Amino acid sequence: MGSAGVSETRATGSERDAGAEKEAAAARPGTVPAQAGAESGPADREAGAGPPPVPLLEPREGVPSVVTDAAGLDRVVAAFAAGSGPVAVDAERASGYRYGQRAYLVQMRRAGAGTALIDPIACPDLSALDAALAGTEMVLHAANQDLPCLAEVGLVPRRLFDTELAGRLLGYPRVGLGSMVENVLGFVLEKGHSAADWSTRPLPEDWLRYAALDVELLVELRDSLQAELESTGKLDWALEEFTAILATPPKPPRADPWRRTSGIHRIRNRRALATVREVWEARDRIARERDLSPGRVLQDAAIIELAQKSPKTPAELQALGTMRGRGARRHQSAWLRAVARARDLPERRLPEANVPGDGPPPAHRWADRDPEAAKRLTAARAVVAALADEHSMPSENLVQPDTVRRLAWTPPDEPSVSAVAAALRDLGARSWQVGLIAQPIAKAFLRLECKGDL
């Protein structure tokens, strides 16, 4: 099965797999197997309680060959359909190198099937694999990062376990995959290729080893975290969060994406804003055509300087400090045309300096614009911070900060528990979140009214 990218596992379950790896690690020169303390909490493990972690150097069955054809993919489908238990899934992109966020490698592992490394450029349709695993839980780390690119190749989980989000709900101070594997399972993952250009072909052997190791212990991590979630009474919260991730529709295209150009706050007039827009759109067009990350075509700093200086000739453009890179010089005529277009625009077609958002104004302006709302926001934030501390999780995982701002800015007419709960649900809060925060926030708002502060 090696040519198909699937290696046969020597254990039948995640606990046995983990035990086998521990035994193998113990036999390696210079390594000592580590065992996370069953009664230690996330902070204790982060502090280094227990034996030192063991470097995880090789996948259990070696580095599988990359699947690059239909026959190999058929073997993967058959192997994973015959496997058992959850499926670990990861994807590698080429952020910073290529345009967009497509996957350039998909890694999967399942008990009874081993590990598969699939080239989604050579095999762009994984719908047969998706169908074979339709009822299977898929385990991802930071699922929101990989779900869009997996959907592009036809892999769409119906059941999800997100190990990063589980770590957040459990209060782990660091929730990167390497930190979680180390602190929960006692192994060290090598993370040297996380920012590599995964569009490279052929992929180097050490990159493939790194990719395979990313799914090597993901199911074991999931099992340990589920046990912690259950013992702390947070499993239902996590399951509701995982369901919400899968139910969330893709984000619509951002309006005026050029307004997110780094440094745009330094642009003070509408004509210069028009230059930012024209150059940004020219860069985006070139980046898309050449399949390059926009930043490799032209840095944001160069866009801002073009808007500030508005060069008219190649000499003026080349004199700018940000235009000395090869990519910037290569397309200098495109930048000059974009600057000229902005310069020639009639006043009525210039972009507005400020575009009103669909939510409350920035919180630092509330004291002047609506002092009562500012007091509600302070009270609600205090409630959320106290509850988050009580339940050992970040405040933003207890409830989104934007939800708190919107509730404080436009509260229900009466600060009853039911009214606050309904408002929170309308703002997208999950049932477990509403159950925790609706009553204390309602009481905080009511106290403000009774004290005459509102």
pTM: 0.87
**83-87, 159-163, 171-175, 350-354: least confidently modelled range:** 350-354
The confidence score (pLDDT) of residue 324 equals 85
Residue 34: is its pLDDT beyond 90? no
Name which of 104, 107, 138, 133 is nearest 121 in CA terms. 104
Q: Backbone phi, then psi, for 57, in 5-degree steps?
A: -105, -30
pLDDT tier at 49, thresholds 50, 70, 90: low
Residue 290: is its pLDDT beyond 50? yes
User: Cis peptide leading into 53, omega within 30 of 0?
Assistant: no
Estimate to the nearest angstrom the gap between the alpha carbon of 20 and the chain centroid. 31
Report which residue type is found at 123: C
321-343: pLDDT as tens digits: 999 888 889 999 999 999 999 99
Q: How far apart are CA 343 and CA 172, in angstroms?
A: 52
Q: How far apart are CA 411 and CA 419, in angstroms?
A: 9
Token reading at 267: 């642009």
Q: Mean pLDDT across the stretch 103-120? A: 98
The confidence score (pLDDT) of residue 454 equals 55
Q: How far apart are CA 263 and CA 267, in angstroms?
A: 8
- What is the average pLDDT score of the chain? 90
Q: How far apart are CA 224 and CA 184, in angstroms?
A: 7
206-218: pLDDT as tens digits: 999 999 999 999 9
pLDDT > 90 in the chain, percent:
81
Name which of 216, 154, 188 is nearest 17 in CA terms. 216
Residue 6: is its pLDDT beyond 60? no
The confidence score (pLDDT) of residue 47 equals 63
- DSSP track, 184-212: II-EE---TTTTS-TT-SSPPHHHHHHHH
Estimate to the nearest angstrom the gap between the alpha carbon of 454 and the chain centroid. 39
